[in-house]
Chain A
Amino acid sequence: AQKVTQAQTEISVVEKEDVTLDCVYETRDTTYYLFWYKQPPSGELVFLIRRNSFDEQNEISGRYSWNFQKSTSSFNFTITASQVVDSAVYFCALSGRSDYKLSFGAGTTVTVRA
């Protein structure tokens, strides 16, 4: 069984602050993919990043960066210099080799105040 835990329910920051979202996962698969999706107030789910379990190299893409640590089963996501438009619910998700479907965490609501 797959499980994704996002312990932070809500985070509120002031514009230009950095925001780090925590994600911890459980899976019996040795091969899997991890994702982050964003759901703005308009409701659609927007793909942000994907990382496979063999690639622990952490990267930066614009204002987004992620920290994948297989040893602690964590896949944290950071927004640098947050903006009001970053206000949304952010979902961490997992797709395992034995269970293709995407399993989502409960989501973290990020509110960025001007």
Chain B
Amino acid sequence: AAGVIQSPRHLIKEKRETATLKCYPIPRHDTVYWYQQGPGQDPQFLISFYEKMQSDKGSIPDRFSAQQFSDYHSELNMSSLELGDSALYFCASSLGSVWGRKLFFGSGTQLSVL
């Protein structure tokens, strides 16, 4: 069965650079979530989209922005990167944004900021 696809798997950037992470949800899933997991930490919710509209917002820095496109894929744009942005970024998808839905996670993008 198709899963959530994230690209790239690994990304190395320098301070003050920009990065774009992509997420392709499971086919027919209309809701996308972004999570950030620092080293040895639990995943922290960043932002979510339902039917191309932002549905919820967590602890996402102003330097980050995201959107969901007409084909339901999503991109997380990160600017003015800082060392502290180094983390594993997960995308998850679900069918519908109804509370309690199972989230299916991708394998994550490991971002290293040097």
The digit string for B39-77, where 1 denotes a CB below 8 A from any CB of A, is 001111100100000001010000000000000000000
Q: A43-B108, A43-B110, A44-B107 are in contact. Are A95 and B41 (CB under 8 A)?
A: no
User: Do the beta carbons of B45 and A103 come within 8 Å of each other?
Assistant: yes
- The tally of CB-CB contacts under 8 A between chains A and B is 51
Q: A101-B48, A101-B56, A107-B42 are in contact. Are A44 and B108 (CB under 8 A)?
A: yes
User: Do the beta carbons of A45 and B90 come within 8 Å of each other?
Assistant: yes
User: Do the beta carbons of A91 and B42 come within 8 Å of each other?
Assistant: yes
Nearest B-chain residue to A109, judged by Cβ: B40
Segment among B11-19, B22-30, B78-86, B94-102 that sits at the interface with chain A: B94-102
Task: Indicate the member of A37, A44, A47 with the most B CB atoms within 10 Å.
Answer: A44
Chain B residues within 8 Å of A, Cβ to Cβ = 33, 41-45, 48, 56, 58, 88, 90, 92, 97, 99-100, 102-108, 110
User: Do the beta carbons of B100 and A47 come within 8 Å of each other?
Assistant: no
Beyond the given pairs A37-B105, A50-B100, 15 more chain A to chain B contacts, judged by CB atoms under 8 angstroms and listed by A's residue number, are: A43-B108, A43-B110, A44-B105, A47-B102, A91-B42, A91-B43, A95-B99, A100-B97, A100-B99, A101-B45, A101-B48, A101-B58, A104-B42, A104-B44, A106-B42
Q: How large is the interface on A (under 10, 10 to 19, 20 to 34, 35 or more residues)?
A: 20 to 34
